[in-house]
A and B are shown apart, each in its own frame.
Chain A
């Protein structure tokens, strides 16, 4: 499988997950978007040493994974992109920040270690949150929700159209790459003599395709206004979901639940 085919498979998996049914899937896309944003912002705002305060935030995505039945495996597969980056940054902290801020018995832990762990946990939590949003909400409904909050029309339309043609063009490039490598065995990438023409050919064809698409839009009544079936209205359960989510995050942000829970048992 070449890279494009992998990307297609990944895209296909997300579409498939979002088409499933669960009580999370059935929530309004706007509610999920709002809660996801709130979650990520609050996770980001935790102090770099506040590992124990951050840990309870884990409960929310865990709960959503369970209710929606989305496999965690698919999500962790995407960690390969997020983690190396976060880790590369975080791994420096133990070397530069050696002040001891925690002692457990004879074990002393430096600030750098804590901040590294916090950073990694933040990376995982943020990934899980945005993954859950996309895995439980079909993309056209996310777009409809964006439109409902008056996100610019042109941008939403562009998002919808691009999403549609990402699949088409990635497939074409996958086939072209396959064809190239069949005729150039042993080459790892595209040889410099074909740097321009390889993508250029597809680019020219795509420009013609754009005209056909425009014709197809015109012929079905396109008049500068992109209409598509909008999301249903906000229902009680959407309001409840949003309120519960946001107030829970705020609570966890300002009350160190780990510390409180622990103090029930220790001392």
Chain B
């Protein structure tokens, strides 16, 4: 789901930076009240672990493909939402800088889409209410059940939110001509599958930790201690409703918005390509955003920073024959720079 710089308008990228920056500021502030210094190495090591863990291929039984983990839910279940969020920021920043996975200016949007939902929404709306709630009754088995349920629901919900945001951001940027509805219909179901797999992986890891070192998982102690805790049935119901709404919405959009002909064919093919790229198969689980981007066309009518050249206006692309000639000259200049550079380097190695 990593977005590239090219897919965003500066205003959208800036707005997402502000949103993510605010969430980061709040997290930092809250973390200061906790025992922050001791937590730093823990966060760093966990972030590094998730970074590496994202590269593991998990075979999905019954299919030839493999799934991946993104880690937002896992980190917030281990470190809490604030520390988890900051760790995710760092992971995304390193991926962006060293692996070109997501753009530097798109980082704000990527943090929002992948870290904010996974950590804050996933934790406060799903993880905590469920773990401290009363599902499946009392005892260790029930608690494990709640961990599994919370992991899966959390991953599904947060990936749906993330996918929807990708569509929204690209559309607002006016980059693609793809209709908004079609884009949504493309993104949501794919991420339903991805979310399910991610949820299963996350729950497997958390259950393992729960068996061996339960004290490492957030809210487990509270769940154990608070047999007298308030029933959070209301919250749980709210969570369930939210998930149903999102999933249902995504599915119905898919069902209803499929026109015939070219568009459908394109979507269909693209969907496959997407699925393959996006974590249902080997390599590049980060590729999801392309597809997302397509959907984004509330069109350039709403585009930020409209430019001087519009279709229909005179000399629209700023192009014309003179434009082409000029571009060729620029390209020539680039070649010359390269030649000069090469010449000097050769000279240097000779003299050296």
Contacts and interface: CB of A to CB of B under 8 A. Distances in A.
- Do chains A and B directly touch (beta carbons under 8 Å) in the complex? yes
Contacts of B213: 204, 207
Interface string B50-75: 01110111111100101001000000
B103 interface: yes
A112 B177 contact: yes
Contact of A102 (B3, B104, B317): B317
Nearest to B105: A40
Contacts of A256: 318, 323, 326
A162 B36 contact: no
B319 A102 contact: yes
Most chain A CB within a 10 A radius of its CB, from B56, B97, B317: B317
Given A41-B105, A82-B4, A87 B290 contact: yes
Interface stretch (A62-70, A233-241, A243-251): A62-70
B48 interface: yes
Interface stretch (B153-161, B242-250, B266-274): B266-274
Contacts of B330: 55-56, 58-59, 257-258, 261
A172 B51 CA distance: 12
B341 A66 contact: yes
B323 A52 contact: yes
A41 B28 CA distance: 27
B49 A203 contact: yes
Interface stretch (B117-125, B133-141, B168-176, B218-226): B168-176
A92 B338 contact: no
Nearest to B43: A158
Given A152-B28, A195-B204, A78 B99 contact: yes
B298 interface: no
Nearest to A172: B52
B59 A189 contact: yes
B338 A84 contact: no
Contact of A262 (B53, B58, B322): B322
Contact of A104 (B57, B207, B321): B321
Contacts of B55: 3-4, 7, 170, 173
Interface in B10-45: 10, 13, 24-25, 28, 31-32, 36-38, 40-45
Given A55-B330, A97-B177, A123-B6, A162 B94 contact: yes
B165 to A, nearest CB: 15
A108 to B, nearest CB: 12
Contact of B209 (A3, A164, A203): A203
A99 interface: yes
B329 A162 contact: no
A173 B56 contact: yes
A136 interface: no
Contacts of B97: 130, 133-134, 139, 142
Residue of B320, B327, B341, B345 most packed against chain A (CB within 10 A)? B327
Interface size range on B against A: 35 or more
A127 B319 contact: no
A25 to B, nearest CB: 15
Interface string A40-66: 110111111111110110110011011
Nearest to A165: B48
A217 B80 CA distance: 23
A31 interface: no
B178 A92 contact: yes
Contacts of B56: 173, 177, 189-190, 198-199
A169 B41 contact: no
Interface string B93-135: 1101111110111000000000000000000000000000000
A266 B293 contact: no
Given A130-B103, A162-B91, A169-B48, A266 B291 contact: no
B238 interface: no
B350 to A, nearest CB: 15
B59 A173 contact: no
A62 B337 contact: yes
B333 A59 contact: yes
B45 A169 contact: yes
A262 B31 contact: no
Interface string A192-223: 10011111111110110111011001000010
Contacts of B307: 46-47, 49-50
Interface in A19-42: 36-37, 40-41
A96 to B, nearest CB: 3
A228 interface: no
Given A45-B9, A162-B91, A173-B56, A92 B316 contact: no
A81 B99 contact: yes
B325 interface: yes
A203 B96 CA distance: 24
Contacts of A99: 311-312
B309 interface: yes
B269 to A, nearest CB: 10
Interface of B: 2-10, 13, 24-25, 28, 31-32, 36-38, 40-49, 51-53, 55-61, 64, 66, 69, 78, 86-87, 89-91, 93-94, 96-101, 103-105, 170, 174-178, 200-201, 204-209, 212-213, 216, 262, 266, 270, 273-274, 277, 282-284, 286-287, 289-294, 296-297, 300, 303, 305-312, 316-331, 333-334, 337-338, 340-342, 345
Given A10-B99, A49-B307, A262-B328, 9 more contacts: A3-B55, A41-B13, A49-B317, A85-B289, A92-B177, A127-B5, A192-B60, A262-B326, A265-B322
In the complex, the 3 A-B pairs of residues with the closest C-beta atoms, listed nearest first: A66-B341, A47-B307, A88-B290
